[in-house]
Amino acid sequence: MLRWNPMPVTQPVPERIWGRNYGRSLVISQQGIVATSHALASQAGAQILARGGSAVDAAIAANAVLGVTEPNMDGIGGDLFVLYWEAKTGKLHGLNASGPAPRRLSPEFLAGHGITTMPLAGAHTVTVPGAVDGWSKLHQRFGKLAWSQLFSAVIAYADQGFPVTEAIEESWSAPIAVERLMTNAESVRVFLPGGEAPRVGQLFRNPDAARCFRLLAEQGPRAFYEGEIAAAILRTLQNLGSTMAASDLAAYSAEWVEPISIDYRGWRVFELPPNGQGMAALEMLNIMETAVPEPGGPSTPGELHKRIEAMKLAYSDVYRYNADPRTNAVPVATLLSKDHASARAALIDPHRANGSVAPARIAGSDTTYLTVVDREGNIASWIQSIYNSFGSGITAEGMGFPLQNRGAGFTLDPAHPNVLAGGKRPYHTIIPGFMERGGQRIGFGIMGGPNQPLAHAQFVSNVVDYGMNLQEALETPRFTKLGPDGNDVIIESRVPASTRDALAAMGHEITLGREYTQQMGRGQAILNDASSGTNYAASDPRADGAAMPEPVI
């Protein structure tokens, strides 16, 4: 995994051997490591590991802190997906902790209120938050420390405050975020102190969130679904006309699921099954595998063109067929077959961009990602979100957390498998990733709505096709695109001008992003090498985070 060629000091060393083309160093440790998008969250998780906690214990603690320090991205008002590698059994477990629409919500209900397209925010986009029950199920199965011990850091940061960091200030103060918060008086009170988003270095306190987490720590996870926290959620939503009922919250239970996977040039790459969009990353990799990697690297015109066109084909399929598998059959096996990939790859013109990609005919977001490895080699690949910036824009009264707008992922088209129905889970964007070969196992993820599958595929290819270590693979310039239609594509400005010119000549309509832009997502990755017991971790410079090793105490 490490590209390092030592040479005898008595020989002249070519200049190209020295230095590197990426900024941060890998974090390497024989102890556990926590990698998140915020240094305070990474530190909180690492402290849990040092107290004897498992990877799940550390992930819960870190995730809780992220919900307070990055409230526009994630929190207990949202959903959770996890891939968990259990070292002692050699088994990869999957958990889908995404919540359904309220039972009484339907297209007919919305039509009766004059709503004919699925709204992007507001009370009718709030689905049952699944994160806390997901934490609970993982903790019951894989936790070591007591539940009440996992929340001391988040309570302290919520109570005492924390200085706002650069990337979070950028997204918190964005017009779309402020406009959404302004629609709800409680959101304004909690998240726009003094009438505006906090600035870099400004101390932000959220005493309501501290109180909420004390309740959660003392009374346990059911307090969220049946106790005082549940009552606050219901009171908030019902005052705004939501159909959410006490029975919707009380009946919720996260689901253990079997991961889906493909082989990519000798590595096994895993994602979670629908209703998440992980199969798009796997289909994209399958399509990419039909052509040899361009020898010049991932920023060459041929390689970037192949990746962009493979993304369009995979996304057109997932947008057409992805839905809640409990209510609609999803043709996962067909979409992930090598034959299907070959047929789709045959549609790629190596010299021309395709702006109109149709899905195959088959019979039948804002987010936070973190990953943890503990000293035993267990790996948590963990992604949690409230969806768009500040989710629904609605904050649970007196509890200090926003409620997600995952219902915006539904369509109101009655012919589509992802049509809104009460008790149904929507198309979901957040996906954790995992890959293994021999004794090397990598938990990885890159957040950002529809950006995620294409970012996963770029990361995997960087590691597998170009031999990059985790940090280089995360830092390498990426492209992103919001959907399969059109030739528009956003590319980081570190991609050479000659490559951008060649892509433009092929018909790609390029928008230039900053050198390191959050538009490309914010990734984390951890590798456990079972043969040596050594862990390697990387944290994306597009965020404010860090990979933090477990301290020896």
The CA distances from residue 547 to 18, 379, 490, 538, in Å, are: 24, 14, 27, 6
Strand partners, 383: 81, 369
Per the listing, tokens 């005052």 go with 239
Q: What angle do CA 89, 331, 349 make, to 5 degrees?
A: 105
Q: Phi, psi at residue 321, to the nearest 5°?
A: -115, -15
Nearest to 412 by CA among 66, 111, 26, 28: 111
Q: Is 268 left (phi over 0), alpha (psi -120 to 50) or beta?
A: beta
Transcribe 192-217 into DSSP letters.
SGGGSPPPTT-EE--HHHHHHHHHHH
Q: Which residues are catalytic?
A: 367
- What is the spatial distance between Cα 71 and Cα 78, in angstroms, rounded to a whole number? 11
What percent of the chain is modeled with pLDDT above 90?
A: 91
Query: C-alpha distances in angstroms, 100 versus 5, 229, 369?
Result: 52, 18, 22
Q: Which CATH number fits domain 31-277+322-329+364-478+521-553: 2.130.10.10, 3.40.50.620, 3.60.20.40, 3.30.1330.20?
A: 3.60.20.40
Report pTM: 0.94
Q: Which of 507, 461, 545, 412 is nearest to 73 (CA)?
A: 545
Task: Give 433's DSSP letter.
Answer: E
> What's the CA gap between 380 and 387, in Å, rounded?
21
Per-residue pLDDT of the chain (553 residues; tens, 9 = 90+): 434 333 333 444 455 567 788 889 999 999 999 999 999 999 999 999 999 999 999 999 999 999 999 999 999 999 999 999 999 999 999 999 999 999 999 999 999 999 999 999 999 999 999 999 999 999 999 999 999 999 999 999 999 999 999 999 999 999 999 999 999 999 999 999 999 999 999 999 999 999 999 999 999 999 999 999 999 999 999 999 999 999 999 999 999 999 999 999 999 999 999 999 999 999 999 999 999 999 999 999 999 999 999 999 999 999 999 999 999 999 999 999 999 999 999 999 999 999 889 888 865 446 789 999 999 999 999 999 999 899 999 999 999 999 999 999 999 999 999 999 999 999 999 999 999 999 999 999 999 888 999 999 999 999 999 999 999 999 999 999 988 999 999 999 999 999 999 999 999 999 999 999 999 999 999 999 999 999 999 999 999 999 999 998 7
For 213, counting Cβ atoms within 10 Å of its Cβ (0-12 exposed, 13-18 middle, 19+ buried), the class is buried
